Structure 1
């Protein structure tokens, strides 16, 4: 007799369905059980307001979490950058799979790179974080651009470029990769130009906290480095008291080696094992004021240490005036 199917709660968007489908296949492999997708509509999917207006925090995940608590689904998949930083006691973050490319990308007319866009180019994005950093880069590099707030799914956003309403839009590389549209990218933005949102490119798999067997099974999909990296990034976000829609970027990664080393070189292996760099940025959306800092240290071996690393960098950023640069503060 076939075991009862696990019910995976997912948003209805093309991207959400694609990434949930990929997780479903991985869960089938590790559990040997069938998995069925249960489509759930969230407030963020139905509201036409911009995220900064509706608060941003939790608008894409609350309905999924409610379904978990009510027992209507067994586990749920979220884009980790959409998760509020406070974890509900009744739910467990069972797994954070290996991270996709965390960078932001440009889809522009005529296959243009960001720095090749014409004077007065209109660039669409729904993210105050992207606006802040794009405008800051433009100001310091003599570019003449206008950032335009937009909403909608990938088709809608890229459609603005195809229809000539905008010269370019900025999206997450991970999302385009998961739906098989990465070939439409005309430029990959270096994280030195635009730091991604905390947790960007990573997925979160949640289930009820009292389902120990399911937590253990889903835990097979967890990537320890991705988990400590996004924990540090989200801790910084929480310590800044900023929501998902605030103009905050953060990335924890491996710092570049000072000199090229061969694969298998003990010095390279030691650095990869031991060091992680955490960077954070906060800025006004017009790009006129920015606070950007970083710290490098041992890769955190525990959740608490990763949290501490994020808090420590946030404290330094607040000391330099970060709080005054955030238009959206968590309530």
Structure 2
């Protein structure tokens, strides 16, 4: 293997994330070439609810992997559908960034300080449902756009606030613009939020070996639990879903604590459940908690979309800050 060709979307955040992975691979002694790829999610101006959501950012990059045009791909993990892609393997899930959502609001305000009638922008059904359930008396407006566009809605006065992912702003060096880091007790993140997936062809043992040194076992365990929950829910629920797994110390060693949310976008109904399981069986933990949600009413929840599962189950808008 001479040079690892690393495929990425063209957005500022995607290239920053891929550059971070490339630097780690170079530190391990590999030569890396960045290859930029345009995806369906990048060229469409529609909301993700209109173009289907799941996989719109990943499909073109995965085709390049399968066609042999690139050797390695870097994805925001929440962009990836939960179903395995034949011929491909996620060889590494590096250390996760902070998975929480953040508020960028006028006048330095927090969620609780926004006056009744304030307008908050987000393209995420998951965020919409959880903020609506808080009963703050705010209006939630769907938006799309990159980081500058979305934060610009606030600075121009078009919106009072926007909600974004802290991980994206951290990677872009823009945390100074955050006015509140939102507690997961209020708004749980999307499954896999803040984590990266480094993917390659399963028949390239040399590439798998080169990439696997970047894998972080704790991060992988957490996102496996979250994505297992999502995969189980998608069989019987199209509601907005949030999930967060954390490694905790139990009586007999390391355990996983998993919290989850499912609800309606208008905030009229919400389910919040949690479960603790063994560190070595994250997928079992996720599926068990999903079944609890389904039994408690998630199977009856629907979102107002004909495009399949709510897009916050995986990807979001260009720049991937959501």
Would you call these one fold, judging by a TM-score over 0.5? yes
Could you give the per-residue CA deviations for residues 58-100 of structure 1, whole angstroms, max 9, x where no partner exists?
0010000000000011100000011000111200100000110
Contact residue 230 and residue 241 of structure 2 kept, 8 A: yes
1:288 maps to 2:288: no
Partner of 2:125: 128
Q: Select which of 283, 299, 303 maps to 1:323.
A: 299
In 2, the alpha carbon distance for the partners of 1:273 and 1:78 equals: 32
Partner of 1:278: 258
In 2, the alpha carbon distance for the partners of 1:127 and 1:51 equals: 9
Contact residue 242 and residue 326 of structure 1 kept, 8 A: no
SS of aligned partner of 2:120:
strand
Partner of 1:314: 290
Q: Unaligned 5+ residue runs, structure 2?
A: 311-322
In 2, the alpha carbon distance for the partners of 1:191 and 1:12 equals: 30
Q: Select which of 144, 150, 163 maps to 1:151.
A: 144
Partner of 1:66: 63
Query: Aligned Cα RMSD in Å?
Result: 1.8
Contact residue 239 and residue 263 of structure 2 kept, 8 A: no
SS of aligned partner of 1:274:
strand
1:181 maps to 2:174: yes
Deviation at 1:237, TM superposition (A): 0.5
In 2, the alpha carbon distance for the partners of 1:171 and 1:68 equals: 29
In 1, the alpha carbon distance for the partners of 2:56 and 2:239 equals: 14
Partner of 1:22: 20
In 1, the alpha carbon distance for the partners of 2:73 and 2:23 equals: 14
In 1, the alpha carbon distance for the partners of 2:124 and 2:290 equals: 21
Partner of 1:163: 156
In 2, the alpha carbon distance for the partners of 1:166 and 1:242 equals: 36
SS of aligned partner of 1:279:
strand
Runs of 4+ residues deviating >3 angstroms:
270-273, 328-331
In the superposition, the TM-score normalised over structure 2's length comes to 0.91
SS of aligned partner of 1:294:
strand
Query: Relative CO higher for 1 or 2, CA cutoff 8 Å, sep ≥ 6?
Result: 2
SS of aligned partner of 2:221:
helix
1:298 maps to 2:291: no
In 2, the alpha carbon distance for the partners of 1:157 and 1:284 equals: 24
In 1, the alpha carbon distance for the partners of 2:257 and 2:212 equals: 25
In 1, the alpha carbon distance for the partners of 2:309 and 2:108 equals: 38
In 2, the alpha carbon distance for the partners of 1:65 and 1:246 equals: 27
Partner of 1:88: 85
Distance 1:21-1:246 versus aligned 2 partners, 3 A rule: farther
Could you give the per-residue CA deviations for residues 135-183 of structure 1, whole angstroms, max 9, x where no partner exists?
101x2xxx22001100111111001001110000000000000010011
Partner of 1:190: 183
Equivalent residues, number: 306
In 2, the alpha carbon distance for the partners of 1:250 and 1:190 equals: 13
Q: Select which of 30, 35, 43 maps to 1:33.
A: 30
Deviation at 1:4, TM superposition (A): 2.8
SS of aligned partner of 2:5:
strand
Q: Unaligned 5+ residue runs, structure 1?
A: 256-267
Could you give the per-residue CA deviations for residues 267-300 of structure 1, whole angstroms, max 9, x where no partner exists?
x6x669422211111111111101111101222x
Could you give the per-residue CA deviations for residues 12-62 of structure 1, whole angstroms, max 9, x where no partner exists?
1110011110010001112x1221111101101111111112111000100
1:105 maps to 2:81: no
